Amino acid sequence: MDASRRSLLKAAAILLVDQWALSRTQASGLKPSSAAAKDERKVIVVACGGIRRAETFLDTGLGNIPHLYRELLPQSVFYPFIRNNGATSHYNTISSILTGNWQRLDDWGKTPPADPTFFEYLRKRMALSQDDAWVISSNKALTSRIGASSIRDFGPSYGANVIFPKQLLINAVIRAASQGHAEHSADRAAMQQELEAILQHADNYEGLGWSVSGEESFLDLRIERSMQQAIEDLVRTNAPVTGDEFTFLVSAEVMRRFAPSLMAITFSDVEVAHFGSYSMHVAGIRTMDRLVYELWNLVQSLPSYTGRTTLFVLPEFGRDFDGSNTNGFFNHRSIDDSTNLTWMMCLGEAARSPDVIQRPVQHIDLCPTIAGLFGIKGLDLPGKPLPGLSA
Amino acid sequence: MNEMPGITQNDSSSPDAYRHLIERLPVTLRPALNQQLTQWGMLFPFEQHTVGKFLKGVESFSPSALDALTAPLWALEKKMGVNHWNFSQASDTIENASQLARSEYYAEWRREVQRVFESVNAAARDAAPLQTESKRLILLFLPGNLPVNPQSVWKQWDPSGREIKISGNSGKFCELVTQGQPGLSGIATLAARKGTVDRSDIWFIDAEGRLSSLLSSLSHNAAASLSYTALKPFRDKFLAELNKAPKDIQATDEVISNLRLESWNGWDLWPPELANQPKLRKFVIDLFLSGNGAVIFSNSFVEWAAAEALRRARPRIVVARFGMRSKPKPFTSIAIFENQQRVSSLPDVDDPENSAIDALILARYVWLAASRYPERQQTFCLCVAEHGNSAYVIPPPGKTLSLSPEHPLGPEELYHWLGTQFLS
């Protein structure tokens, strides 16, 4: 990505977080969290859509993941076999990771997880604020309900902030198109109008699918205009922009400003595979590889994170095998190792002794592992703490 | 076992005679069968044959034998709680699929369904054997403007095949296939000589308009011919309607159902080759509703249309030609499910390298789709990469290729060889 375009995306991300922080302060009368003051343990989970082992950690795929393979693998605890034994849809898989129980919910996020998420366990047991728990996602298949369960003693009061940065960009494009302004998507000034229309109206803000600041849904006008300016510049550039890039930049700003204890990031550029473009799918894998590397470097550079952060990276599942009756890489529906078996990498504080753990593990093992890292005990979960990690 | 005359004699008889048989089956087997009976007149001959054969198998079981066969599936449905689901028995829906897939018994359910189908089909097999002995051809074209890597182009392909080099203008081979050469007719005419009676027995599927432009009107009339380019007015309208579906499974099922039932005849959207072709129009609608990028990318359309044609019609010949796609446009590429020409006024720019990557794997997927069926035993596959004057030939199992990899063939020689294989 060229530097100018990246800087514009970055500006947009900064401003997005700024406006959220300001609106939250206005709404609650609370000061935003002081990142520098925090010294507790941090955990970041990055889930990156459906990616086959064949395109990543098998010989045929190593060229797609130079950063993961060359830079990060040697310093990680690596799990070459992690099995998704649940429903291999996005909402159910992310819910399963967050709750430590296989979730079997409406695939399109109509209902919240049926078991408490690790956000809820953490916030309730450690009396943490909502600033400490975030889900930042590119994936359209998720909804704001992903951040908290339907369990009475937990629920939204202990849930995470959930935001979908990519949806802001998508809404702007679709709005321009629906109003017959195709030229707007190629014109900075015109695109500004589309973004203004979305950001200035509470209804449209809620239409982005976010769940932040409790019930608040207003935006600060000063920040809103600044953000529009940044995105407007982005529109003017004549190069592709990816949702994951924007999701990463917003995540980075959240880390800088709020230093949440627990953050889940989901990337989804790879899901272009559903439309049958293998080249774009592989480009999505390469983007994910780069962004994870940048995220890890960011962790090393931020005082709130360095030396106290554990980062988990894993695909949600694989994709169907070439020749399957579900059309191969397009989908993730077949019941076999190509779809159900993938890999996971753990970096940082809990991965002080790099290793490759050959023993198969499961996606639902993350929740008890993360609970253990925060010293939370006594949870009755079906998964087991991951082997090979330091407490 | 018991035979009911009237149903078994004619696979294309009135579907109403079959409906009572479906009621004897477990609930989760009913939607697909009911949907096919409802659309009976829109089914291809092979589909009618398959459904008829399956139901013939069902009726051949005595009630007690059928109960015994399906008892494990009934029990599984009870454990899954199917009776408490919002489960459509009239047709396959996204919600049906979603409920099944998220059940903890999903894998077990699939195995049971497979077992029931195999048993029923086995019961019917002797009475209605499938005719699979005729020669089949899969012809795939990667156009000359797609720069495939000559070193690796066939690396992932079936090792039972072989690369052959084409001397001269390999682009001419496509003309010969469609138009023939002196002493050897085009492929559609050859198929007719071999006894092809239904147009669903030969398919021409094109990302652009090359095949259509080469085919004679006679061939058009004898074959199923689909062009992504020619379908543009219909695609645009269809995509606009599809994108109105809200993010809700039930509402989306309703939108899909309405789109399926819509006649689509009133807006002059269909290309001339689909005039008076209701089955093909229905095929296109079903194709677009089944996703897989068929309405978004031309090469996905070609692959998925070919795979679906193979599954539903089991044709003797599939000719599929891939093509160029445009580069994703700045900013709007994040909304790739939208009509890019509608959401951005920037001109389209070709993306040859990535189009070649996409086309190559999707061409292989067409071959893999063809390989799943019993007809594989009689199928020749030929994929031509015009850019590298190279082709890959996969013979039927047990057949030896008489072609020498050391000696390039001219397009005429290659077509002559192909015609010989098909006619022999």
Q: Which chain A residue's Cα is nearest to B304?
A: A327
Is pLDDT of A139 > 90? no
User: Which residue type, as a one-letter code, is found at position A33?
Assistant: S
Q: What is the mean pLDDT of residues A169-196?
A: 66
Mean pLDDT of B391-406: 87
Q: What is the pLDDT of residue B423?
A: 76
Q: Given B292, B303, B331, which is nearest A241 (Cβ)?
A: B331
Average pLDDT, stretch A352-356?
Answer: 96
What are the tens digits of pLDDT across the range B290-338?
989 999 999 999 999 999 999 999 999 999 999 999 988 766 666 667 7
A139 closest CA partner among A235, A46, A206, A227:
A46
Q: What is the pLDDT of residues B62-110, one digit of tens each?
A: 999 999 999 999 999 999 999 999 999 999 999 999 999 999 999 999 9
Q: How far apart are CA A94 and CA A100, in angstroms?
A: 10
> In this structure, are residues B21 and B54 in contact, taking their beta carbons and an 8 Å threshold?
no
The sheet that has B224-227: what strands, in order across it?
A: B162-165, B390-394, B379-385, B136-142, B317-321, B202-206, B224-227
Q: How far is CA B261 from CA A144, B15, B285, in A?
A: 34, 19, 10
Distance from CA of A170 to the nearest CA of B (A): 6
CA distance B103 to B79: 10
A274: closest CA of chain B, how far (Å): 6
Note whether A108 contacts B365, CB cutoff 8 Å: no
Task: Tell me phi and psi for residue B363, to 5 degrees.
Answer: -60, -40
The band of A362, judged by pLDDT with boundaries at 50, 70 and 90, is: very high
Beta strands in B109-254 (DSSP E): 136-142, 162-165, 202-206, 224-227
Question: Which chain B residues in 206-245 lie under 8 Å from chain A, judged by CB atoms?
Answer: none
C-alpha to C-alpha distance for B389 and B409, rounded to whole angstroms: 10
Interface of B with A in 86-115 (CB under 8 A): 98, 101-104, 106-107, 110
Confidence of residue B14 (pLDDT cuts 50, 70, 90): low
Strand partners, B350: B326
CB proximity under 8 Å: B 257-316 to A: 291-294, 296-297, 299-300, 303-304, 307
Distance CA A271, CA A258 (A): 29
pLDDT tens digits for range B205-226? 999 999 988 888 777 778 999 9
For A233, the closest chain B residue by CA position comes to: B331
Banded model confidence at residue A29, pLDDT cuts 50, 70, 90: very low
CB B135 within 8 A of CB B424: yes
pLDDT at B13: 56
Give the integer Cα–Cα distance in Å for A268 and B411: 44
Q: Element (H or E) spanning B298, and its range?
A: helix B298-313
pLDDT at A267: 95
Predicted pLDDT of residue A149: 95
Angle between helices A90-99 and A118-126 (to 10 degrees): 30
CA dist., res. B367 & res. B356, Å (int): 17
Amino acid found at A298: L
User: In the prediction, which pLDDT does B160 show?
Assistant: 92
3 state SS of A133: strand
- For residue B275, what pLDDT band results from cuts at 50, 70 and 90? confident
Helix H or strand E segment including A137 = strand A133-137
Mean pLDDT rounded to a whole number for chain A: 83
A4-18, A139-153, A252-266, B305-319, range with greatest mean pLDDT: B305-319
Distance of residue B207 Cα from the nearest chain A Cα, in angstroms: 14
Helices and strands of chain B, counted as H and E runs: 17, 7
Q: Which residues of A touch B369 (CB under 8 A)?
A: 323
Contact A323 B365 (CB under 8 A): yes
Give me the residue spans of the domains in chain B: 16-125, 136-423
Give B301 or A144, the one with higher predicted confidence. B301
Which one has a higher pLDDT value, A41 or B192?
A41
Task: Identify the residue whose tokens are 């030969």.
Answer: B202
Range with the poorest average pLDDT among A122-126, A239-243, A244-248: A239-243
User: When comparing pLDDT for A176 and A118, which is higher?
Assistant: A118
How high is the pLDDT of residue B150?
A: 87
What are A64's strand-pairing partners? none
CATH number of B136-423: 3.40.720
Question: With an 8 Å Cβ cutoff, are B248 and A239 in contact?
Answer: no
Q: Minimal CA–CA distance to A75: which of A291, A379, A351?
A: A351
Helix (H, G, I), strand (E, B) or coil at B314: coil
Measured distance CA(B40)–CA(B38) in Å, rounded: 6
Q: Which residues of A touch B251 (CB under 8 A)?
A: none
Label each residue of A227-247 as H, E or C.
HHHHHHHHHHCCCCCCHHHHH
A106, A91 contact by CB (below 8 A): yes
**Residue A339 CA: distances (Å) to CA of A88, A365, B342:** 8, 18, 35
Q: B114, B241, B249, B343: which to substitute to probe chain A, counting the most A Cβ within 10 Å? A: B343
CATH classification code of A36-157+242-373: 3.40.720.10
Whether residue A276 has pLDDT greater than 90: yes
In chain B, residues with a C-beta closer than 8 Å to the C-beta of A325 are 372
Q: Which residues, at least 6 apart from B214, have a Cβ–Cβ distance to it below 8 Å?
A: B174, B175, B178, B179
At residue B88, what is the residue type? S
Residue A206 to residue B80: CA distance in whole angstroms? 36
Average pLDDT of span B195-203:
86
Q: Cβ contacts (< 8 Å) between B331 and chain A: which residues?
A: 169, 173, 185-186, 191, 234-235, 241
Task: Tell me the C-alpha distance between A22 and A294, whole Å.
Answer: 27
A238: nearest CB among B98, B330, B339? B330
- What residues are paired with B385 via a beta bridge? B142, B390
Q: Model confidence over B27-62: pLDDT tens digits? A: 999 999 999 999 999 999 999 999 999 998 999 999
DSSP notation for B258-270: HHHH----TT--S
Residue B161 has pLDDT above 90, yes or no: yes
Is the minimum CB–CB distance between B332 and chain A shorter than 8 Å? Answer: yes
Work out the average pLDDT over A353-366.
Answer: 97
Judged against a pLDDT cut of 60, whether residue A226 lies above it is answered with no
Residue A144 contacts residue A211 (beta carbons within 8 Å)? yes
Contacts of A322 in chain B (CB under 8 A): 156, 361, 364-365, 368
Give the model's pLDDT for residue A4: 52
Name the average pLDDT for chain B. 88
In this predicted structure, the answer to whether residue B6 has a pLDDT above a threshold of 70 is no
Q: Distance from A26 to chain B by nearest Cα, in Å? A: 32
Q: Report the gap between the CA of A333 and the closest CA in chain B (Å).
A: 8
Fill in the DSSP letter of residue A211: B
Task: Mark which residues 370-389 of B lie under 8 Å from A by CB.
Answer: 371-372
The mean per-residue pLDDT over the stretch B258-263 comes to 81
Q: How far is A349 from chain B (nearest CA, A)?
A: 35
> What's the whole-model pTM score?
0.90
**Judging by DSSP bridges, how do beta strands B136-142 and A355-356 pair with one another?**
unpaired
Rounded CA separation B318/B26 (Å): 36
Q: Which residues of A touch B371 (CB under 8 A)?
A: 323
pLDDT > 50? residue A257: yes
Chain B residues touching A55 at Cβ < 8 A? none
> Cα–Cα distance between B250 and A387 in angstroms, integer?
42
pLDDT at B131: 57
User: What pLDDT, on a 0 to 100 scale, did the predictor assign at position B376?
Assistant: 93
CA-nearest residue to A209 within chain B is: B247
pLDDT of B168-178, one tens digit each? 899 999 999 99
Structure tokens at B121: 């089909």
Q: In this predicted structure, what is the pLDDT of residue A14?
A: 64
